[in-house]
Structure 1
Amino acid sequence: MSLSATFNTARSSLQATSTRLSVSASNVASADDTSTSRKIAVVTTTSDGGSKVVNITRASDSALYDRMLSATSSSSKLSAIDSGLTVLQQTVGDTESETSPAALLGVFSSALSSAANAPDDSALAASAVTAAQNVAQSLNDASETVQKVRTDADSSIATSVSNVNDLLAKFQAANDAVVQGTAIGANVTDALDRRDAILSDLSEEMGISTLTRANNDVAIYTDSGVTLFDKSARSVTFQASGALDATSSGNAVYVDGVAVAGPGASSSMTLKSGAIAGYAELRDDVAVTYQTQLDEVARGLITAFAETDQTGGTTTLAGLFTAGSGDTSVPSSLVAGLAGNITVNAAADSTQGGSPFTLRDGGMNGASYVYNADSEASYSTRLTELIGALSASQTYDSSSQLESDTSVMTFATASVSWLQGQRSVVSTSLDTQSAVLSQTSTALSSATGVNLDDEYALQLELERSYQASSKLIGVVSDLYDQLFSVIG
């Protein structure tokens, strides 16, 4: 081999080693950045026996990455639902809680029994009315909490939609950089990392799938198949509903004009995962079902304590419990928001000019509805009937998802148990998905992340190669000096 060939071989090796050292140093510097993959300088041998860096690639595992995106979306959806269920659970309580409607119904039933055992005791009668007021208030509070959870979920959807649009705009810039750089053979590894990081953030908001095409161009679709990005970002729109009540529905989320969450979204187009899917399910399904259960408890109480005309009439009017101040109707079917309006009849409340003894005697709707016509102090028939009414079977709306032919007390207990069951299922699923996400992220990091031990070992090897190439260039330089001295 000639001296010039040897010199060129050593120089190309030196240049390649220098580039590889630079890439390795960059890997070490970004080792703590989980969104950065390990960069690899691809080296090839030249025709003259030297070496050169052809291009710089990055470590990747598309299967693991897609699995991580899926696990991120699933965890995000479950987390959104779990957050709402936790609020409902903490505020409403359970069957053992002093604040739960079911527990307060038990207290009320005991107070009725005490009043029936001593029907002439005004203090016991007043205690029963107070217990009834506590039941009504617990239903009011629970209904208010449900609507707050729904309103908060609606607001969270608006925030997520805004995030999605921002991320899609950032993705377009990153994707353009990747496509343009790939087309001219430039190093696009950093742009690829930025694009993947954006996709990871996007998967938290909604379930997505991707398709890679020529020049590393990527198209994004929702997990239900609606196009989110194809050369350009599609518009994701949502009109925040503001404060929701039991009679109102939230608005739908649209991607490029197609409803993907909320009212109007077909089963085939509905998002399956991501925070938006979770908040929509919480707002439109879970919380609505629980509200229905509360409303049916309220209706059951109004029905159980209704007064009938004792003079032979057929009109039944609300008794101890009413659908609102001055409302004497007895609903025969589900009334949305009834739990938020139920109250104790002013005729039984001494603080409003009424008498607790109307609970014993009847007559909250006038003389025709008096059961104790002789005003007997020991009259307990009506109280005994009311106690029985609490245990009597009633029918409830099927949308409550609870057994229909049961007593209002059993129904109330089943409602709280349903909420506990929902939270338990979601919490368990969330733990499972979180574990999957953690394992997948760890596996992906191992496959594509920077291992400092490996990088330091590589740098030592490259330094020795660098030194060898430098020494060889020095030898060639000395030989040239000797040659020129002889010629001179």
Structure 2
Amino acid sequence: MSLSASLNNALSGLTATSRRAEVVSTNVANALTEGYARREVQVAARSLGGIGAGVQVVGVTRQVNTGILGDRRLADAEAGNTGARADFLSRIETQIGTPGDGRSLSDRIATFETALISATSRPDSQARLQTVLDTADALASHLGTLSDEVQIARAEADNSIASQVAELNNVLAGIDKLNAAILAERSSGRDANALMDQRQRLVDRVAEIVPVREIARDHDQIALFTTGGAVLLDGLPATVGFSPVGVVTADMTLASGDLSGLTINGMAVPSGDDGVLGGGTLGAMFAIRDDLAPAAQEGFDALARDLMARFSDPAVDPTLPPGAPGLFTDRGGAFDPLAEAGLAGRLTINAAADPAQGGQLWRLRDGLGAATQGNVGDTTLLTAMTDAMQAARVPASGPFIGAARSASGLAADVLSNISGQRQQADLRQSYATTRQAAMTELQLADGVDTDAEMQDLLLIEQAYAANARVIQTVDSLIQTLIGL
């Protein structure tokens, strides 16, 4: 081997080790940077005419375990989905209240029953009759608050869907631009790894909204498909469509067309949590808006219907005209089976017994349909009302098991249904977050290990010194030749 060839070999070694040192420093500097993938220099032996000519840097590659990355993204989507469901159910459970806290649904029914019993012992007491009216109104107001909370949650979910769809479209457009930029950098021979890090962060954001699988294409391009089978990006980004409504009422449903579903490139797609874009936070919002919240509303409406039925029975109050409402009304009217949706939010006290609405308190004792005041010592109606609250009745509607329940028992079933769903959601969330943490830890284990990088740096230093020593030796030989 000639001295010039030896010199070229050593120079190529210096160049390669310098590049490796640069990459190690970049790895260490970005050890805590989110989305950064460890870099590694790829080198290969160089030859000219079949003769060794040193080493060449083939490229710098990102070290990413695509299997773990894909599983972590699916875990992110599941954790977001279960977390949103659990948060909603916990919110409604808190609004219903825990028995014994004085403000819960069960406590308000118990307070109303206590007021009836107290008034029965002194039917002539205006104060006790007023307490009956006030506790009945508090019960109706609490059901109205629960109904309002459910519809507020549905409206928030609808708005969240709109914002997530807008973000999804923006992020997909950003990934498409990065695909193009990466292709341009690769074509010009430049390092595109930093752009690929940015793209990975954007794909991670998509995966929180919708669970996706990343498919590698030629020239470091990627395609994105949802686990439900929808194409989000393959050459061109898809456009997801959604139209928010702003205000949501109990009677508004997706099936009726009052609420918007999703479209992809203008074509309607199944929009539930089990649809092609379900499984992430976007699917959870559809589940809240179209499934969980309506189911909770159905239970509240069934309880409101049951209360109306207990007091509109002629056997309880013979003074009521046929078809007239009892103590509880649907905004002053009788119950309409075709308009049960949202009944809990419309439940009000009969104006005939409410002095604030021009009624008289004595009608709680003498009958809501009575024209004149009767015997102030008559406890017949108050006793019948108390018995009506405590009587076991099979609810005519709602998500119940069909067993006969008192009013307080039915309220307990409403809470039990929500609590049971919340506990199941908490269990699923616990599993999802544990899996997410495990996948994240596995991914981080493939990231930058500063100890390993320092060890590599020591080896690089030794290789650099050895190549420099070769150059010094060749230089010494050349100087000897010149001096001859």
Runs of 4+ deviating beyond 6 Å: 309-314
Partner SS, residue 436 of structure 2: helix
Q: Following TM superposition, by how much is the alpha carbon of 1:181 offset from its aligned partner in structure 2, in angstroms? A: 4.5
Inter-partner Cα distance in structure 1 for 2:115 and 2:71:
57
The alignment status of 1:41 with 2:41, answered yes or no, reads yes
Give, as a single letter, the amino acid of the residue that structure 1 aligns with 2:98. D
Q: 2:363 touches 2:369 (CA, 8 Å); kept in 1?
A: no
Inter-partner Cα distance in structure 2 for 1:103 and 1:124:
18
Q: 1:259 touches 1:270 (CA, 8 Å); kept in 2?
A: no
Q: Following TM superposition, by how much is the alpha carbon of 1:289 offset from its aligned partner in structure 2, in angstroms? A: 0.9
Residue 449 (structure 2) aligns with: 451
Q: In structure 2, which of residues 286, 297, 322 is the aligned counterpart of residue 315 of structure 1?
A: 322
Q: In structure 2, which of residues 280, 287, 290 is the aligned counterpart of residue 281 of structure 1?
A: 287
Inter-partner Cα distance in structure 2 for 1:180 and 1:396:
68
Q: 2:312 touches 2:320 (CA, 8 Å); kept in 1?
A: no
Inter-partner Cα distance in structure 1 for 2:43 and 2:435:
37
Residue 354 (structure 2) aligns with: 349
**Which moved further from structure 2: 428-437 or 301-310?**
301-310
Q: Following TM superposition, by how much is the alpha carbon of 1:182 offset from its aligned partner in structure 2, in angstroms? A: 4.9
Q: 1:239 touches 1:251 (CA, 8 Å); kept in 2?
A: yes
Q: In structure 1, which of residues 192, 195, 215 is the aligned counterpart of residue 196 of structure 2?
A: 192
Q: 1:43 touches 1:54 (CA, 8 Å); kept in 2?
A: yes
Where do residues 392-471 of structure 1 align in structure 2 (5 Å cutoff)?
A: 392-396=391-395, 400-407=398-405, 408-447=407-446, 449-471=447-469
The alignment status of 1:477 with 2:475, answered yes or no, reads yes
Cα separation, partners in 2 of 1:308 and 1:333, compared to 1, 3 Å: farther
Residue 256 (structure 2) aligns with: none
Inter-partner Cα distance in structure 2 for 1:98 and 1:470:
83
Q: Following TM superposition, by how much is the alpha carbon of 1:157 offset from its aligned partner in structure 2, in angstroms? A: 0.9
Cα separation, partners in 2 of 1:17 and 1:192, compared to 1, 3 Å: same
- Please give the per-residue CA displacement for 1:60-119, whole angstroms capped at 9, x wherever unaligned: 111101110100111111222233233323333233332222220111111112222332
Partner SS, residue 84 of structure 1: helix
Partner SS, residue 41 of structure 2: strand
Inter-partner Cα distance in structure 1 for 2:441 and 2:275:
32
Inter-partner Cα distance in structure 2 for 1:360 and 1:199:
68
Residue 263 (structure 2) aligns with: 254
Residue 9 (structure 1) aligns with: 9
Inter-partner Cα distance in structure 2 for 1:312 and 1:68:
67
Where do residues 327-346 of structure 1 align in structure 2 (5 Å cutoff)?
A: 327=333, 329-332=334-337, 335-346=340-351
Q: Following TM superposition, by how much is the alpha carbon of 1:431 offset from its aligned partner in structure 2, in angstroms? A: 2.2
Inter-partner Cα distance in structure 1 for 2:270 and 2:86:
18
Residue 213 (structure 2) aligns with: 209
- Please give the per-residue CA displacement for 1:357-388, whole angstroms capped at 9, x wherever unaligned: 312221x2354xx9x9xx33332222222222
Q: Following TM superposition, by how much is the alpha carbon of 1:462 offset from its aligned partner in structure 2, in angstroms? A: 0.6
Q: 1:298 touches 1:338 (CA, 8 Å); kept in 2?
A: yes
Cα separation, partners in 2 of 1:127 and 1:300, compared to 1, 3 Å: same
Give, as a single letter, the amino acid of the residue that structure 1 aligns with 2:133. V
Partner SS, residue 221 of structure 1: strand
The alignment status of 1:324 with 2:331, answered yes or no, reads yes
Inter-partner Cα distance in structure 1 for 2:46 and 2:16:
11
Residue 109 (structure 1) aligns with: 113
Inter-partner Cα distance in structure 2 for 1:185 and 1:404:
72
Inter-partner Cα distance in structure 2 for 1:314 and 1:140:
26
Inter-partner Cα distance in structure 2 for 1:290 and 1:13:
71
Q: 1:261 touches 1:277 (CA, 8 Å); kept in 2?
A: no
Q: Following TM superposition, by how much is the alpha carbon of 1:153 offset from its aligned partner in structure 2, in angstroms? A: 1.0
Partner SS, residue 27 of structure 1: helix
Partner SS, residue 233 of structure 2: strand
Give, as a single letter, the amino acid of the residue that structure 2 aligns with 1:454. A
Q: In structure 1, which of residues 208, 222, 225 is the aligned counterpart of residue 226 of structure 2?
A: 222
Q: 2:319 touches 2:369 (CA, 8 Å); kept in 1?
A: no
Cα separation, partners in 2 of 1:418 and 1:311, compared to 1, 3 Å: closer
**Which moved further from structure 2: 175-184 or 240-249?**
175-184
Inter-partner Cα distance in structure 2 for 1:166 and 1:79:
24
Q: Percent identity at matched positions?
A: 28
Inter-partner Cα distance in structure 1 for 2:285 and 2:120:
48
The alignment status of 1:359 with 2:364, answered yes or no, reads yes
Partner SS, residue 50 of structure 1: strand
Partner SS, residue 478 of structure 2: helix
Cα separation, partners in 2 of 1:312 and 1:281, compared to 1, 3 Å: closer
- Please give the per-residue CA displacement for 1:272-308, whole angstroms capped at 9, x wherever unaligned: 3111101111111111111111111111111111153
Q: Following TM superposition, by how much is the alpha carbon of 1:36 offset from its aligned partner in structure 2, in angstroms? A: 0.4
Inter-partner Cα distance in structure 2 for 1:130 and 1:268:
45
Inter-partner Cα distance in structure 2 for 1:189 and 1:211:
17
Residue 290 (structure 1) aligns with: 296
Q: Following TM superposition, by how much is the alpha carbon of 1:351 offset from its aligned partner in structure 2, in angstroms? A: 3.2
Inter-partner Cα distance in structure 1 for 2:319 and 2:60:
94
| Root mean square deviation of aligned Cα | 2.4
Q: Following TM superposition, by how much is the alpha carbon of 1:215 offset from its aligned partner in structure 2, in angstroms? A: 2.5
- TM, length-normalised to structure 2: 0.91
Q: In structure 2, which of residues 136, 142, 148 is the aligned counterpart of residue 144 of structure 1?
A: 148
Q: 2:321 touches 2:369 (CA, 8 Å); kept in 1?
A: no
Partner SS, residue 360 of structure 2: coil
Inter-partner Cα distance in structure 2 for 1:81 and 1:56:
43
Q: 2:230 touches 2:276 (CA, 8 Å); kept in 1?
A: no
Q: 2:226 touches 2:276 (CA, 8 Å); kept in 1?
A: no
Unpaired runs of at least 5, structure 1 = none
Unpaired runs of at least 5, structure 2 = 254-258
Residue 62 (structure 1) aligns with: 66
Q: Following TM superposition, by how much is the alpha carbon of 1:441 offset from its aligned partner in structure 2, in angstroms? A: 0.8
Give, as a single letter, the amino acid of the residue that structure 2 aligns with 1:297. L
Residue 135 (structure 1) aligns with: 139
Inter-partner Cα distance in structure 2 for 1:105 and 1:270:
44
Q: 1:322 touches 1:342 (CA, 8 Å); kept in 2?
A: yes
Q: Following TM superposition, by how much is the alpha carbon of 1:156 offset from its aligned partner in structure 2, in angstroms? A: 0.9
Cα separation, partners in 2 of 1:147 and 1:153, compared to 1, 3 Å: same
Inter-partner Cα distance in structure 2 for 1:101 and 1:292:
16
Inter-partner Cα distance in structure 2 for 1:280 and 1:397:
28
- Please give the per-residue CA displacement for 1:163-203, whole angstroms capped at 9, x wherever unaligned: 10110011001222334455666533223222221110111
Give, as a single letter, the amino acid of the residue that structure 2 aligns with 1:194. Q
Q: 1:306 touches 1:330 (CA, 8 Å); kept in 2?
A: no
Residue 380 (structure 2) aligns with: 381
- TM, length-normalised to structure 1: 0.91
